[in-house]
């Protein structure tokens, strides 16, 4: 659609009755009643049977044989699939064509069960399909697999690990060097070096990975899958299976969290599809909790060293960031921590480098603010260290180094309210009462510390299409192939549609989660809200343009013979701009002329691809390419109080404030939940979460929720969450920036800085300066 035709539809946007309101989740009732169908719950499919993985206990080796004599004799066993009888795949992410087409849709280029080699512990070696789950599990236990084991490498810390600088892959992408950071650092009056080690973390969504594959014909399959990304999972499947796109359908109506592990497709999905083909029945596979530690990626174990040079007054002169981490035998993936070090503060020089070591682990992946979350830990702990050395308050040093434009690109910000986040957060927390002396506040046997940190998360460019059918009886069907992680996509898009169409939210039916619907952005990288809301808003404008054209040619219409450009839609009324009394509800028009429904379709852009003339919807003054001329980020500030038990060394978070500036907030209730979730992840990462890998066996030893500790209610205090109202003129038609991930960035550092404030007096400054790793996560 051409939006220049009638840019005054922008008015529709401002008449918001429900956008921004704390509307309760419209999917909430279905969820608590057990009526929401998750991927593993399509149990009514005719002839549905169950599959389980048999996995390797050893991390490196070669399969020399299978003994299935006992397993296959069990009742109900329908098939045992191994690399010896796997139906062929047209492509994999490792074949040249597959690599070209689906490398981004699949984080791991290796597909297990195609050959005899074992690369990581937990690697699937067989799929057992049976009539019941119990029969499949029993058969898996009886299946004997002979593996010749070799000595694995567990991590970059292994003495036999070989470090290398990646030349390609995500790990090779570090921000461009600015100036001469080494030289600036060596001359800086104040120098500090901070080293932090981070252990492996796992996403652990409540809902494990699950797939049901249903071949409806020999060349046609529907896949119910726990995916955050309908479109890329769809593509990965049709490319791997060698089928036309229309012959593969991917469905996901509800997700029980994902946090990045459901963002790209993992091998279990296509292997379940293969199993279904093998037995000629619909097959369900649900990963067990232990299998969740070796099937859908993790945040890699890593070490960061940040060297900071500054003036005596605390102004930054140099930032040098080094990262070393573990990767898989095939892929060069490392989360890009240095991006946020590059952009968070004004600093004339910057340099970053990355080293990897291959080990016998699967490929790590995006997790809860990938890059920015651990990167902000290093940066924000270093800022507190610097503040301490130069005798400044932690907020003062951040204001002193505030970046008025993006230091990395030199571009102005599309919007930035970080200062307001500090101010509001300080106010809500009572920061002015902070004891400037570290290690000096006691409460009983506990030392009390107050810390804060900044957060930022970039707008990742995306686009997506939405379709609306508006009916003469006043209801609307709204469709986009998005997913709702549980964070509120159903609800916020319903709100946006209601306001854009001028109808109550109860009259909106929003459908998502199906590759048969218009293609849109993944629910990842905090893209979904901005992309889907904008496309729905624009699709509504398409509806209005069509209806206005009808209205001006209908002789009974109050706007008969008006120029379309002189007619506007306000709250579902088509009326003259110059005289609002000359108009009528769209339902009146449609019913009178016997028009049952009208369809609108539009593509919304999020980020720098969003440009004029669409920008005119958001601001009358935006020029073409204004969007691309800006650096786009959400910002946040987090405040934390801890109490440290001086006898036991235990840490409790006792107070928390988060303030977030992320453009227009579509729903204050779901937004608040998301910010609380992000903060809780940060507290978990700082104090509790961590996967333990046996250094000799390269096996995870705490692969369960009993042993991998995530925060529970008792660990979390009452949280205060606030938002700064922002009007971002460049990011998209709705002025929405991402919220999910900026909620976690900086949170671990806020905890660490609070501990630093509580106990710092007892630290040896010289040892810390030598890079002895005073802070660590996990
Ligand atoms: Mo997120 S880590 O982009 O799902």
pLDDT in tens, 248-285: 999 999 999 999 999 999 999 999 999 999 999 999 99
- Average confidence (pLDDT) over 218-238: 98
203: CA distance to ligand 1 center in Å?
10
At residue 651, what are phi and psi to the nearest 5 degrees? -120, 130
For residue 771, the model assigns a pLDDT of 38
Which of 14-18, 92-96, 619-623, 762-766 has the least mean pLDDT?
A: 762-766
Query: How confident is residue 62, by pLDDT bands cut at 50, 70 and 90?
Result: very high
pLDDT tens-digit profile of 694-724? 999 999 999 999 999 999 999 999 999 999 9
Q: Exposure pattern of 110-147 as b/e (b: 16+ CB <10 Å)?
A: bbbbeebebbbbbbbbbbbbbbeeebbebbbebbebeb
Whether the CB of 743 sits within 6 Å of ligand 1: no
Q: Exposure pattern of 397-436 as b/e (b: 16+ CB <10 Å)?
A: bbebbebeebbbeeeebbbbbbbbbbbbbbeebebeebee
For residue 628, the model assigns a pLDDT of 84
Using the predicted structure, report yes or no on whether residue 768 has a pLDDT greater than 50: no
Q: Cβ–Cβ contacts within 10 Å for residue 333, how many?
A: 24
Tell me the pLDDT of the chain averaged across its residues. 93
Whether the CB of 315 sits within 6 Å of ligand 1: no
Alpha carbon distance 753, 196 (integer Å): 13
Using the predicted structure, report yes or no on whether residue 614 has a pLDDT greater than 70: no
Three-class SS of residue 257? coil
Q: Which atom of ligand 1 is nearest to the CA of 485?
A: 4
Using the predicted structure, report yes or no on whether residue 571 has a pLDDT greater than 70: yes
Q: Give 177's DSSP letter.
A: P
Using the predicted structure, report yes or no on whether residue 13 has a pLDDT greater than 80: no
Query: How confident is residue 625, by pLDDT bands cut at 50, 70 and 90?
Result: low
Whether the CB of 457 sits within 6 Å of ligand 1: no
Query: How confident is residue 6, by pLDDT bands cut at 50, 70 and 90?
Result: very low
Using the predicted structure, report yes or no on whether residue 626 has a pLDDT greater than 80: no
Using the predicted structure, report yes or no on whether residue 587 has a pLDDT greater than 90: yes
CB 623 within 8 A of CB 16: no
Using the predicted structure, report yes or no on whether residue 74 has a pLDDT greater than 80: yes
Using the predicted structure, report yes or no on whether residue 612 has a pLDDT greater than 50: no
Distances from the Cα of 538 to the Cα of 38, 601, 608, angstroms: 30, 8, 17
Using the predicted structure, report yes or no on whether residue 619 has a pLDDT greater than 70: no
Structure tokens at 439: 């290690």
Which of 259, 261, 461, 489 to mutate to test ligand 1, by most ligand atoms within 8 A of the CB atom? 259
Question: Looking at the whole model, is its pTM more than 0.75?
Answer: yes
Whether the CB of 465 sits within 6 Å of ligand 1: no
**H-run or E-run covering 419:** helix 418-429
Whether the CB of 228 sits within 6 Å of ligand 1: yes
Provide the strand spans (E) within 646-718.
651-661
Alpha carbon distance 370, 681 (integer Å): 12
- Average confidence (pLDDT) over 319-345: 98
Taking CB atoms within 8 Å and a gap of at least 24, the contacts of 578-584 are 582/558, 583/558, 583/559, 584/557, 584/558
Whether the CB of 222 sits within 6 Å of ligand 1: no
Closest CA to 311 of 192, 395, 417, 411: 192
Alpha carbon distance 430, 280 (integer Å): 65
CB 609 within 8 A of CB 626: no
pLDDT tens-digit profile of 484-510? 999 999 999 999 999 999 999 999 999
pLDDT tens-digit profile of 24-36? 999 999 999 999 9
For residue 17, the model assigns a pLDDT of 87
For residue 170, the model assigns a pLDDT of 87
Which segments of 552-599 does DSSP mark as H helices, in order? 586-593
Q: Which atom of ligand 1 is nearest to the CA of 526?
A: 3
Query: How confident is residue 763, by pLDDT bands cut at 50, 70 and 90?
Result: very low
154: CA distance to ligand 1 center in Å?
25
Closest CA to 109 of 275, 293, 333, 302: 333
Which of 368, 486, 527 to mutate to test ligand 1, by most ligand atoms within 8 A of the CB atom? 368
Using the predicted structure, report yes or no on whether residue 618 has a pLDDT greater than 70: no
- Average confidence (pLDDT) over 306-325: 98
Q: Exposure pattern of 438-476 as b/e (b: 16+ CB <10 Å)?
A: bbebeeeebbbbbbbbbbbbbbbbbbbbbbbbbbbebbb
pLDDT tens-digit profile of 425-472? 999 999 999 999 999 999 999 999 999 999 999 999 999 999 999 999
Whether the CB of 282 sits within 6 Å of ligand 1: no
**Considering only CA atoms, which residue is closest to atom 4 of ligand 1?**
260
Using the predicted structure, report yes or no on whether residue 383 has a pLDDT greater than 90: yes
C-alpha distance across the termini of the chain, in Å: 50
Using the predicted structure, report yes or no on whether residue 287 has a pLDDT greater than 70: yes
Using the predicted structure, report yes or no on whether residue 110 has a pLDDT greater than 70: yes
Alpha carbon distance 708, 475 (integer Å): 47
CB 517 within 8 A of CB 510: no
Closest CA to 489 of 523, 454, 525, 537: 523
Q: Which atom of ligand 1 is nearest to the CA of 525?
A: 3
pLDDT tens-digit profile of 509-551? 999 999 999 999 999 999 999 999 999 999 999 999 999 999 9
User: Could you give the angle at which helices 489-501 and 528-551 cross, rounded to 10 degrees?
Assistant: 20
Alpha carbon distance 299, 642 (integer Å): 26
Whether the CB of 524 sits within 6 Å of ligand 1: yes
CB 298 within 8 A of CB 319: no
Distances from the Cα of 624 to the Cα of 124, 579, 620, 730, 731, angstroms: 52, 32, 12, 10, 13
Pairing state between β 49-55 and 283-286: parallel
Which of 233, 257, 260 to mutate to test ligand 1, by most ligand atoms within 8 A of the CB atom? 260
Contacts of 396 (CB under 8 A, 6+ apart): 387
For residue 374, the model assigns a pLDDT of 98
Query: How confident is residue 770, by pLDDT bands cut at 50, 70 and 90?
Result: very low
Using the predicted structure, report yes or no on whether residue 5 has a pLDDT greater than 60: no
Structure tokens at 120: 């990581």
Using the predicted structure, report yes or no on whether residue 189 has a pLDDT greater than 60: yes
Q: Which atom of ligand 1 is nearest to the CA of 261?
A: 4
Whether the CB of 664 sits within 6 Å of ligand 1: no
Which segments of 81-180 does DSSP mark as H helices, in order? 96-102, 133-142
CB 671 within 8 A of CB 499: no
Using the predicted structure, report yes or no on whether residue 764 has a pLDDT greater than 70: no
Closest CA to 103 of 290, 310, 264, 304: 264
């Amino acid at each position: 659609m051409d939006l220049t035709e009638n840019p005054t539809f922008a008015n529709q946007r401002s008449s918001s009755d429900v956008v921004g309101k704390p509307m309760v989740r419209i999917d909430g009732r279905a969820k608590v009643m057990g009526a929401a169908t998750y991927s593993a719950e399509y149990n009514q499919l005719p002839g549905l049977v169950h599959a389980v993985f048999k996995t390797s206990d050893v991390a490196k080796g070669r399969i020399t044989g299978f003994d299935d004599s006992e397993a296959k004799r069990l009742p109900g066993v329908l098939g045992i699939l191994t690399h010896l009888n796997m139906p062929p795949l047209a492509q994999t992410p490792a074949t040249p064509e597959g690599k070209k087409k689906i490398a981004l849709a699949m984080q791991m280029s290796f597909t297990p069960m195609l050959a005899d080699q074992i690369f990581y512990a937990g690697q699937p070696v067989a799929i057992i399909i049976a009539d019941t789950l119990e029969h499949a599990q029993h058969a898996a236990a009886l299946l004997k697999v002979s593996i010749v084991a070799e000595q694995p490498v567990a991590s970059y810390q292994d003495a036999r690990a070989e470090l290398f600088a990646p030349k390609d892959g995500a790990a090779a992408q570090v921000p461009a060097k600015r100036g001469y950071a080494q030289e600036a650092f060596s001359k800086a009056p104040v120098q500090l070096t901070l080293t932090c080690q981070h252990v492996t973390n796992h996403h652990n969504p409540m809902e494990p990975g699950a797939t049901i594959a249903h071949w409806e014909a020999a060349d046609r399959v529907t896949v119910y899958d726990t995916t955050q990304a309908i479109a890329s999972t769809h593509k990965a499947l049709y490319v791997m299976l060698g089928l036309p796109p229309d012959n593969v359908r991917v469905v996901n109506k509800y997700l029980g969290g994902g946090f990045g592990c459901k963002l790209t497709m993992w091998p279990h999905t296509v292997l379940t599809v293969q199993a279904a083909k093998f037995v000629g029945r619909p097959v369900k596979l649900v990963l067990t909790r232990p299998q969740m530690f070796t099937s859908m990626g993790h945040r890699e174990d890593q070490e960061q060293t940040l060297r900071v040079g500054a003036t005596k007054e605390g102004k930054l002169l140099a930032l040098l960031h080094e990262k070393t981490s573990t990767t898989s035998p095939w892929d060069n993936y490392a989360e890009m921590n240095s991006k946020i070090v590059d952009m968070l503060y004004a600093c004339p020089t910057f340099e970053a480098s990355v080293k990897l070591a291959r080990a016998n682990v699967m490929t790590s992946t995006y997790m809860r603010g990938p890059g920015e979350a651990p990167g902000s830990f290093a940066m924000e702990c270093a800022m507190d260290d610097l503040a301490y050395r130069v005798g400044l308050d932690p907020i003062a040093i951040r204001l002193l180094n505030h970046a008025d434009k993006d230091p990395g690109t030199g571009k102005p910000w599309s919007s930035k309210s970080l200062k307001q986040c500090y101010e509001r957060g300080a106010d809500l927390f009572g920061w002015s009462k902070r004891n400037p002396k570290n290690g000096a506040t006691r409460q009983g046997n506990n030392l009390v510390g107050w810390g804060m940190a900044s957060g930022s998360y970039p707008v990742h460019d995306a686009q997506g299409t939405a379709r609306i059918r508006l009916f003469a009886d006043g209801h609307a069907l709204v469709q986009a192939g998005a997913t709702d992680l549980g964070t509120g996509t159903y609800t916020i898009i319903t709100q946006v549609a209601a306001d854009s169409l001028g109808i109550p939210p109860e009259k909106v039916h929003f459908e998502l989660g199906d590759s048969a619907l218009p293609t849109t952005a993944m629910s990842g990288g905090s893209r979904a809200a901005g992309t889907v809301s904008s496309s729905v808003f624009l699709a509504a404008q398409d509806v209005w343009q069509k209806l206005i054209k009808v209205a001006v040619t209908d002789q009974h219409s109050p706007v008969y013979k008006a120029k379309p450009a002189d007619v506007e839609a306000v709250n579902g009324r088509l009326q003259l701009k110059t005289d609002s009394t000359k108009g009528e509800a769209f339902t009146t028009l449609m019913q009178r002329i016997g028009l049952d429904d009208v369809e609108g379709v539009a593509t919304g852009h999020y980020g720098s691809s969003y440009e004029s003339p669409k920008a005119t919807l958001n601001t009358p003054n935006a020029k073409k390419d204004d969007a691309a001329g800006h650096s786009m980020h959400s910002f946040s500030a987090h405040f934390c109080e801890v109490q440290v038990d001086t006898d036991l060394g235990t840490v409790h978070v006792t107070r928390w404030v988060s303030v977030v500036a992320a453009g227009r907030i579509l729903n204050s209730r779901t937004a608040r939940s998301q910010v609380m979730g992000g903060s809780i992840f940060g507290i978990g990462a700082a104090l509790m979460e961590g996967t333990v890998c046996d250094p000799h066996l390269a096996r995870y030893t705490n692969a369960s929720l009993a042993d991998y500790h995530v925060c529970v209610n008792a660990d979390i205090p009452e949280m205060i969450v606030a938002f700064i109202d922002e009007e971002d003129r460049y990011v998209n038609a709705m002025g929405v920036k991402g919220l999910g991930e900026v909620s976690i960035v900086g949170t671990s550092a806020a905890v660490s800085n609070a501990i630093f404030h509580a106990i710092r007096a007892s630290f040896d400054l010289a040892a810390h300066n030598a890079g002895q790793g005073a802070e660590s996560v996990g």
